[in-house]
Amino acid sequence: MNTTKKTREPLFHLIKRTNVPMWQAWLVRGVTVLAAFLLIGLMSFISLKINPFKVYSYMIKGAFGDSYRIMRLLRDLAILLLFALAVTPAFKMKFWNIGAEGQVLMGAYACMFCIFNLGGKINDTLLIFISLAAALVAGSIWAVIPALFKAKWNTNETLFTLMMNYVAIQIILYTIKIWVPGGTGVLTPTVYGNLPKIAGDNFWLSIIAALVMTAIMFVYLRFSKHGYEITVVGESENTARYIGINVKKVIIRTLLLSGLICGITGFLLVAGINHTVSSTTAGGRGFTAILVSWLAKFNPIFMIFTSFLVVFLAKGTDEVMTMSGITNSFFSQVVTGVMFLMIIGCEFFINYRVVFSRHIKKATVVAAVPVTEESAAAETLEAPVNDTQADASEKEDNV
């Protein structure tokens, strides 16, 4: 190494913020969402020549234009919320379950399987209970399999749950092909095993289910012993083990819970809303739910707002496209992307402070930033060497 060469230090460093008041953080988030909407308006104007105010009014109209739209918005919000509730306990435990899509699909599939085979042959009320039970079992099996593997052999749960999604999709496609051999992968809606409609439509049942589940999940995570164990395992597995928590048991139990909620969601999607199943029944919401849950900091109450934001954007951009004659889905994708990029960016700045190097002392730099061995050594060349470890590494480097 050329010891005479003057090494440059990085341009800036990141320092973790520790005591940001809650109100301040939420103010920043609120302003970010507003700024994102401004940016969306600006971009629509520049690239598509649509009046930004029209964009906003279309978005609001798309979401709240009439009572039918409002009810659909609420129902879709409820369903997305259920997905998010399903992934939350696992994520809180730092178990990266990205398999909600497949777990819900399996729940939906099991429900449809019962309806398809038993519909018309047994009492319809009984059928509803059988298909609910089947959905719960199927959803939880799909969630527990990766959990078992994780607990037993420490397999990578991200890859495992992801692959389980594809298995679920293929099972559904294959079964539909058998049920409808000369078709296009579409199964005609069934008249059997349908959940009763409340107020003449399929909206309220999902909304009520989501509200109940949200309350239960909030209490479970916040006030129960299980919830506490999940938090501890998430923070540090070693600590959990040290204080006598059976980590394997917690992992499997938590995933079982995830799977059960997914089963309920799948059941609602089939018996309550679609009355059929397809590979798009979950519609990617198993993945969107991760974002919903994460942005809400795994708090079920906050998730209502983050779900709302996602569904509002979807409905809003659909309306903008329809009313402006845009027939390419890039618009809604870009808008959603901009919004969440901005929000994730704002989370970063709430959590970290960017400090430009010339404002801080060298010693702080070394202490605050994880550095590679080489740059640590380089750093010490300039800084007064008062650390034996740095000294040693310098020597090592010079050998």
Partner 1 sequence: MKRIVTIILALALVLTVVAGVAACKGKIKDAEEVQIPALEGMEVADYSNLSVPADFKIGMICLHDESSTYDLNFINAAKAAVKALGMSESQLVIKTGIDEDVACYEAAKDLINNSRCKVIFADSFGHEQYIAQAAAEFPNVQFCHATGVTAGSSTLTNFHNAFASIYEGRFLAGIAAGMKLYEMNKDKAEADQNYKIGYVGAFTYAEVISGYTSYFLGVKYALNQAQAGLGDKLSMKVKFTGSWYDVAAEKSAAEALISQGCVLISQHADSMGAPSACEAAGVPNVSYNGSTITACPKTFIVSSRIDWTPYVKYIIAQTVKGQAIDDNFTGTLKDGSVALTGVNGDVMAEGTIDAIVTARAKLVAGTLNVFDTNTFTVNGQKITSKLVNGEEVVINGAFKESKVMSAPYFDYDEIDGIKCLNRYYNPGEEIAA
Residues 6+ apart with CB under 8 A from 251: 93, 95, 147, 150, 151, 233
DSSP 8-state secondary structure symbol assigned to residue 182: T
**Euclidean distance between CA atoms 209 and 220, whole angstroms:** 16
**How many whole angstroms from its chain centre is CA 125?**
34
Q: Which stretch binds partner 1 (CB under 8 A): 146-154, 223-231, 320-328, 347-355?
A: 320-328
Q: Is 206 in the site for partner 1 (CB under 8 A)?
A: no
Q: Is 190 in the site for partner 1 (CB under 8 A)?
A: no
In the complex, the smallest distance separating the C-beta of residue 280 from partner 1, rounded to whole angstroms, is 5
Q: Is 236 in the site for partner 1 (CB under 8 A)?
A: no
Nearer to partner 1, 325 or 384 (CB): 325
Nearer to partner 1, 184 or 372 (CB): 184
Q: Is 189 in the site for partner 1 (CB under 8 A)?
A: yes
H or E stretch covering 124: helix 124-153
Per-residue interface string for the shown chain with partner 1, residues 41-80, x marking contact by CB under 8 A: --------------------x---xx-xx--x--------
Contact pick of 10, 30, 120, 183 for partner 1 (by CB under 8 A): 183
Distance (Å) of CA 101 to CA 83, 117, 263, 286: 8, 24, 11, 4
Give the interface size with partner 1 as a residue count (CB under 8 A). 35
Q: Is 184 in the site for partner 1 (CB under 8 A)?
A: yes
Residues 6+ apart with CB under 8 A from 278: 172, 176, 185, 186, 187
**Euclidean distance between CA atoms 344 and 189, whole angstroms:** 40
Residues 147-176 that bind partner 1 (CB under 8 A): 170, 173-174
In the complex, the smallest distance separating the C-beta of residue 167 from partner 1, rounded to whole angstroms, is 13
Per-residue interface string for the shown chain with partner 1, residues 269-308, x marking contact by CB under 8 A: ----xxxx-x-xx-x-------------------------
DSSP 8-state secondary structure symbol assigned to residue 198: B
Contact 261, 97 (CB under 8 A): no
Residues 6+ apart with CB under 8 A from 245: 229, 232, 233
Residues of this chain that bind partner 1 (CB under 8 A)? 61, 65-66, 68-69, 72, 170, 173-174, 177, 181-186, 188-189, 202, 273-276, 278, 280-281, 283, 318, 321-323, 325, 327-329
